[in-house]
Chains A and B, each alone.
Chain A
Amino acid sequence: DTAVSQTPKYLVTQMGNDKSIKCEQNLGHDTMYWYKQDSKKFLKIMFSYNNKELIINETVPNRFSPKSPDKAHLNLHINSLELGDSAVYFCASSQDRRTSGRENTGELFFGEGSRLTVL
Chain B
Amino acid sequence: RKEVEQDPGPFNVPEGATVAFNCTYSNSASQSFFWYRQDCRKEPKLLMSVYSSGNEDGRFTAQLNRASQYISLLIRDSKLSDSATYLCVVYPITSGTYKYIFGTGTRLKVLA
CB within 8 Å of B: which residues of A? 31, 33, 35, 40-45, 48, 50, 55-56, 90, 92, 94, 96-98, 105-108, 110-113
Binary CB contact string for chain B from 94 to 110 against chain A (1 if under 8 A, 0 otherwise): 00111111101100000
Number of B interface residues, CB 8 Å? 24
Which of B87, B93, B98, B101 is within 8 Å of A31, CB to CB? B98
Chain B residues contacting A90 (CB-CB under 8 Å) are 43-44
In contact, B46 and A108 (Cβ under 8 angstroms)? yes
**Known: A41-B85, A45-B99, A94-B100. Contact between A106 and B91, CB under 8 A?**
yes
A107 nearest CB neighbor, chain B only: B46
| Complex Cα gap A44–B104 (Å) | 9
| Complex Cα gap A35–B42 (Å) | 14
Chain B residues contacting A97 (CB-CB under 8 Å) are 32, 93
Chain B residues contacting A96 (CB-CB under 8 Å) are 98
B25 within 8 Å of A by Cβ?
A: no
